[in-house]
Amino acid sequence: MVHAHVQILGLQGNLVVCSSLVDMYGKCNDVDGARMVFNSMGCRNVVSWTAMIAGCAQNGKGYEALEVFREFSGYMTERPNHFMLASVINACASLGRLVSGKVTHGAVIRGGVSPNEGALLWGTLLSSSRLQGRVDIAVEASKWLIESNQQVAGAYVTLSNTYTLAGEWEKAHSLRAEMDLVGVHKEPGCSWIEIKDSIYVFYAGDLSCERRDEVISLLRELERRMVERGYVGGTIRAAAVHWLV
């Protein structure tokens, strides 16, 4: 409907509007729609390229995201922004090419970025390294965030979860103890679901749910079905860590 109004109002050539459409389609999991608008744009800027790359990366189309980035590098003279490069790092991680993402990230950091831009890039690299089980990269990324006083609590927790997923339990517990020692606290993560007008909220670390055994059992069954459909990622152990730790 929004896209139709854009056409009716004759705004197909408006750079801001079309870039927003690309972003909208990407966030609605319609990469083809995003690509259609993107291809129709007579003029593009770093924002429209970023929206297209992010749309691909967020929807599991890592190769397409990297191809769009290559197109950008070949056609545009503008410098990529930190949002674009964060999406490129995510795309590399989704393809199991985290080292390529780290190279991209390193080149940007050496080129100079602001503290906030650096926090986004290092945070993205940290999250991606957790998903890929790259403890070495996770340690490096979390160290930068902690020493720069950026996303400190999140850095500690993500690194702890990375250790846990890698089976390095002692390091995970040691890191949690260090958080208590230096007084770093993170608000517990939570999720919720509404069933028959009742809302059920689940907090990480909260063991009060009377039906938690059923929840864990259901998570195992969901994981089994996801694996059957080709899912590769954290196991039920990671879900249990979120639930219990």
% residues pLDDT > 90 (the chain): 6
Q: For the whole model, what pTM was predicted?
A: 0.56
140-154 residue pLDDT tens: 888 877 777 777 787
Residue 217 neighbours by CB distance under 10 Å = 12
Q: 156, 171, 189: which is the final residue of a domain?
A: 189
pLDDT the model gives residue 101: 57
Instruction: Determine the Cα–Cα distance for residues 123 and 155; give it in Å rounded to an integer.
Output: 8
Instruction: Determine the Cα–Cα distance for residues 189 and 208; give it in Å rounded to an integer.
Output: 15
Are 174 and 220 members of one domain?
A: no
DSSP string, 199-223: EEEEETT----TTHHHHHHHHHHHH
Q: 145, 162, 189: which is the final residue of a domain?
A: 189
Tell me how many domains the chain contains: 2
User: What value does the mean pLDDT take over residues 45-65?
Assistant: 88
Are 111 and 180 members of one domain?
A: yes
pLDDT the model gives residue 239: 45
77-97 residue pLDDT tens: 777 777 888 888 877 776 666
Are 45 and 162 members of one domain?
A: yes
User: What value does the mean pLDDT take over residues 2-11?
Assistant: 62
pLDDT the model gives residue 240: 46
What is the domain-level CATH number for residue 116? 1.25.40.10
User: What value does the mean pLDDT take over residues 104-132?
Assistant: 67
Greater confidence, 184 or 114?
184
Are 174 and 204 members of one domain?
A: no
Are 159 and 226 members of one domain?
A: no
Are 83 and 61 members of one domain?
A: yes
Greater confidence, 181 or 209?
181
Greater confidence, 206 or 33?
33
Q: Tell me: pLDDT of 53 over 80.
A: yes
% residues pLDDT > 70 (the chain): 75
Greater confidence, 234 or 16?
16
Are 101 and 133 members of one domain?
A: yes
Q: What value does the mean pLDDT of the chain take?
A: 76
157-203 residue pLDDT tens: 888 888 887 778 888 888 888 887 878 777 667 788 888 878 878 77
What residue numbers bound the domain in which 11 lies? Answer: 2-189
Instruction: Determine the Cα–Cα distance for residues 235 and 208; give it in Å rounded to an integer.
Output: 23
Are 123 and 166 members of one domain?
A: yes
User: What value does the mean pLDDT take over residues 31-60?
Assistant: 89
Are 91 and 205 members of one domain?
A: no
pLDDT the model gives residue 161: 80
Are 115 and 42 members of one domain?
A: yes
- Range with the poorest average pLDDT among 59-63, 186-190, 212-216, 239-243: 239-243
Distances (CA, A) of 236 to 4, 20, 36, 217: 43, 37, 38, 10
Are 22 and 127 members of one domain?
A: yes
pLDDT the model gives residue 115: 61
Are 61 and 96 members of one domain?
A: yes
